[in-house]
Structures are given as C-alpha cells and as structure tokens.
Amino acid sequence: MKITDEQVIDKSAKWVVSFFVASAGLWLLAAALLAYIAAAKLTDPFFLSSFEFFTYGKVKIAQANAFVYGWGGNSIFAISIWIIARLSQAEVRGRVLLLVAGFIWNIGITLGLLGILDGHMNSHEMLEMPKEIWPLLFISYAIITCLIIVLHRSRKYSDTIAPQWFILAAILWFPALFLIAWNGLEINPSPGTVQSVLSMWFGQNLIWLWLTPFALGVAYYIIPSIIGKPIDKYYLAIFGFWCIASLAPWSVVHHLEGGPVPMWIPAIGTVMSIAMIFPIAVASTNFHATAFKDIDKVWNSLPLRFVIFGTLSYTISSYIGVIFSLPAVAKLTQFSIINEFHFNQRVYGFFSMIVFGAVYYMLPKITGKEITIAAKTFHFWTSALGVMMLLLAYLIGGLTHGVLAQQPDLDWANSVIASIQPYFLITEISFIILGFSQLVFVINIWKVLVPNPFEDTGRSKKFASKASTV
C-alpha cells in the first residue's frame, strides 16, 4: 500500500500526540473526581470535612486548575501539534524535546495541585498554584511553543488560513498574559485592589484568549474537513479573529461592577462585552452555515457532532453572557453562582466538547485503530446530558440566588442559600453523570493508545471469520 504524505506526518506525530492525549485524559478524570467532591460538599457540608486537605475552597480551586492546565493545556498541545503539522504538511520535529517538556508540564501541575491542597494557595485567579511551580510550567510551555512555531515555519505553502491564526494566537497569548500578570503580581506587586483588577484580567483572559481561540481554530479545521466543503463566508473569519483579539482583553473585567475600583474599569468592560456580539456572530455564521449544508453528516459523524455541540453552545451561551454583562442584569447576578455557569459553559460546553470531537477525529488517523461507535455515542449522550443539566442548574440557580440576594430582609443562610440548595443537588448529579461520561472517554482513548496484551488479533480474527460462517 502506498504511504501518503499525510500518513508520514501522522506517524511523526504519533508518540507526542499520544502522550499529550493520554495525560489530558488522566487530568480530566482527576478534575471530574475533584468536581464531584466539591459538589458533594455543597449538598452535605460534613462530607470529608475532617480532612484539612479537602476543604471546599481548596478542592474547588484545585479542580479548576486541573481542568484548565491539566486537561486544557495537554489537549491544546496534542491537537495544536497535529493540526499545525497537517496544515504545514511537515513532519513533527524535536519529538524528544516535546516529550520532555510535556513531562515537566505535567509534573509541574501535579506538584502545583498538591501545593494547593496542602495549603500553599496563591490568591490570584487561575494563578493559585504555588509560586515556585510557575517557572517550571513557563519553561516547559515556552519549549513547546517554540517547537510549534518551528513546525509552522517549516510549512510548504506560505499562505495561512483561519485555523492557523486562531491556534497560533492562542498558543502565543498565554505566555504573554502570564508574563504581564507575573510581573504585576509577583515581581513588582501593586498595592490593594490594583492586584484584584490584574488577577481578574488574567483569569478571565485565560478563558477568552487561550481556551476560546484554540477551540475556535479547531472548529475551523474540523468542520470543513469532515463536511468536505469550504467554510461558508470565509472572508468574515479574519474580521472575527481581529475582533476577538482587540475586544476580548477589554471585555473581561465587567465582573468588578460596583466594587472597590474606579468606575471606568467595569464600565469599559461592559461596553466591550456588548461589542463581543460581532465576533460571536461571525464564528457562528461560519460554523453553522457550513455545517448545516449537510445536516446528515453532522448527525452521523460523531466527531462533528461533538464539535457542532460545542459551537452551538459557544454561540448561545456567549449571547447569554452578553446579556448578563448589562449593568441592570449584572446587578442581580453578580456574585451569584451564575459565575459557575459562565466558567462551565466555556470549559465544558464549548472547549471540552470540541476537544472530544477533535480527539475522536485525530486518534484513528494517527494510530490506525477505530474507536467503537457505541462507546463514542454513549460518551456523547452522557456528556450532552450532563453538561445541559449542569448549565441549566447553574443558570436557574444563579438567577434565583441573585434575585433573592438583592432582598435585604431575607435571612442569608435560611432563605437565600436554602432556596438554591436543590440546584446544588442537581449539579452534584450532573457531575456524577459527567464523571462516568469522562471515564468512558478515557477508556475509549486508552484502548486505542495502549495495545491490549491479552488480545491476540490474529486469533480473534480467525474466530470472528469462523463465527460468521457458522
């Protein structure tokens, strides 16, 4: 059989991508376990309460970090390396260095999470891992970034397309954001609430300028690949890209509405959040106008179904996000558990669903083994159900929480929090469903990545052919 260029590229990426996908899967399970513990502690405060290691605050923050840096970071590395290699039509080079850097990254996160649980938490949003860990993470990230840029520079065609812009921008924005935040918070720290502005700016931008553009780039790559048609109204993509680049870093500070900072800061945030409807509309048009030309394929191809779930969720919940940034609404929902809705819709409903789709699309190509349809379908439906339940519970619970909190006469613990208790129970159930779903995902990828020592392919084939003749 003739070996195509693509097979050579996939082969060159095999070990690196497998390593990152496998680590991402393990982090996903760790995050799922932590998410369950945190949710269970809200419904029963005595759950694991005698362990200093597992206070609610620590577990909750460890979960967010495991999710964003462990699952998010590793899957960004895996998928970026593969997509950039494919689009450059170049083989992945520096594989050993990539593996070493990836190993350091994962060790760093492990130590960081243990540090959080052991009580060495930092106070800045999404920088909660202990200070000593960050140089380690930064160096390993920088190595991987450099190798991805080298890969991109070795491309055969000089013209670049939307997936490359979004993925490369995401890869490059993270270290820039990190250096800005690290300088302003640790190297020459600012006094008082200047710190809070900066840490919120970093924490929210991490979602908006790292996870979001990456997932959009992946969608720009996978949708036309599977549908087999070019992106509809592709000329809008460049406008959408620069809109995100210029608006997102401004829009993220509206959560400080009414807080102890000068009023212009949340005000600019609010205006820019409203302006975000443009890039959201562009991405939505590009994706859905293309995908819905061939609705059968969306339904029948599981990777595409995951990706479209992600992009739909991005569109709907981003519009909801715009509504919640209006001052009149923000006044109600600020500080309520609606914040959990925003975080989870972005990392679960949008980012993770697209990553699932991309992994299912990518793994058979690089390993040459298929994943059973039934397992993928089970994973899709449990994920979809879990995510929807989770988001609805946080959305309705958040609105209830916000509205009741605005009535000064209601007793806090006995009225306000007691009335959102049922929603905490729903989130706990959702996290159990999601945990199962993610376990299935990890088993799915594990089966493809790790050869089963008990399986003798030759004999089982013979057996199968015998069985079919009987």
Partner 1 sequence: MNNIFKFSFGIFSTLAVAWFAFVVGARKQFGDLSPTSSVLNEDGSIPEDSDLYPIAFSGAAQQGAEEYLSLGCATCHTQQVRLVEAGFDVERGWGKRPSVARDYILQNEVNIGNTRVGPDLANIGLREYSDEWLHQHLFEPQSLIEKSICPPNPFLYDIKDSNVSGALQIISEDNTTRFVKPGIKANRIVAYLQELRQDYELPEMSFVEEEEPVTSELVTIPTTSTKLPSWLSDQISSGKEIYTKVGPGGGGCVSCHQPTGLGQPGVFPPLVDSDWVLGDKERIIKISMHGLMGEIEVSGVKYNGVMIPPGVPPGSLTDQQIADVLTYIRNDWGNSGSAISPEEVAIVRDSVKDRGQMQMWTAAELNSDK
CA distance 136 to 306: 34
Nearer to partner 1, 198 or 223 (CB): 198
Decide: is 190 part of the binding site for partner 1 (CB under 8 A).
yes
Decide: is 176 part of the binding site for partner 1 (CB under 8 A).
yes
Site string for partner 1, 91-120 (x = CB under 8 A): ----------------------------xx
CA distance 177 to 249: 10
How many residues touch partner 1 under the rule CB under 8 A: the total is 83
Decide: is 405 part of the binding site for partner 1 (CB under 8 A).
yes
Site string for partner 1, 324-363 (x = CB under 8 A): ---x---x--xxxx-xx-----------------------
CA nearest neighbour of 174 among 68, 247, 256, 79: 68
For residues 26 and 442, is the Cβ–Cβ distance under 8 A? Answer: yes
For residues 224 and 290, is the Cβ–Cβ distance under 8 A? Answer: yes
For residues 254 and 273, is the Cβ–Cβ distance under 8 A? Answer: yes
Which amino acid appears at position 137 of this protein? Answer: L
**Sole window of 169-177, 300-308, 367-375, 436-444 interacting with partner 1 (rule: CB under 8 A):** 169-177
Closest contact distance (angstroms) between CB of 194 and partner 1 is 5
**Sole window of 83-91, 190-198, 381-389, 427-435 interacting with partner 1 (rule: CB under 8 A):** 190-198
- In this structure, what token pair is assigned to residue 350? 């949008």
3-state helix/strand/coil string of 216-240: HHHHHHHHHHHHCCCCCCHHHHHHH
Nearer to partner 1, 119 or 451 (CB): 119
CA nearest neighbour of 19 among 107, 113, 103: 103
Which amino acid appears at position 333 of this protein? Answer: T
Q: Terminal CA-to-CA distance of the chain, rounded, Å?
A: 32
CA distance 130 to 136: 11
CA distance 117 to 129: 10
**Sole window of 20-28, 39-47, 215-223, 442-450 interacting with partner 1 (rule: CB under 8 A):** 39-47
Residues with Cβ within 8 Å of residue 118, at least 6 apart in sequence: 53
Decide: is 173 part of the binding site for partner 1 (CB under 8 A).
yes
Angle between helices 353-367 and 302-325 (to 10 degrees): 160
Decide: is 184 part of the binding site for partner 1 (CB under 8 A).
yes
Site string for partner 1, 141-160 (x = CB under 8 A): --------x--xx----xxx
CA distance 454 to 449: 15
Nearer to partner 1, 19 or 220 (CB): 220
Nearer to partner 1, 188 or 468 (CB): 188
Nearer to partner 1, 10 or 257 (CB): 257
| Sequence-separated contacts (24+) of 152-158 with Cβ below 8 Å | 152/84, 152/88, 154/88, 154/90, 154/93, 155/87, 155/88, 155/89, 155/90, 156/88, 156/89, 156/90, 157/89
Closest contact distance (angstroms) between CB of 159 and partner 1 is 6
Nearer to partner 1, 179 or 295 (CB): 179
Among 7, 15, 33, 55, interactor with partner 1 by CB under 8 A = 55
> Tokens 């990777």 sit at which residue?
303
Among 14, 28, 41, 240, interactor with partner 1 by CB under 8 A = 41
Write out the binding residues for partner 1, residues 205-224 only, by CB under 8 A.
209
Nearer to partner 1, 52 or 456 (CB): 52
How remote is the C-alpha of 278 from its chain's centroid?
22
CA distances to 44, 280, 394 from 337, in Å: 17, 24, 6
Among 37, 90, 133, 177, interactor with partner 1 by CB under 8 A = 177
Write out the binding residues for partner 1, residues 424-453 only, by CB under 8 A.
424
CA nearest neighbour of 87 among 221, 245, 247, 215: 221
Decide: is 51 part of the binding site for partner 1 (CB under 8 A).
yes
Nearer to partner 1, 56 or 436 (CB): 56
Closest contact distance (angstroms) between CB of 407 and partner 1 is 7
Write out the binding residues for partner 1, residues 258-277 only, by CB under 8 A.
258-262, 265, 268
Decide: is 250 part of the binding site for partner 1 (CB under 8 A).
yes
Nearer to partner 1, 317 or 336 (CB): 336
Decide: is 138 part of the binding site for partner 1 (CB under 8 A).
no
Among 17, 61, 216, 347, interactor with partner 1 by CB under 8 A = 61
Nearer to partner 1, 57 or 230 (CB): 57
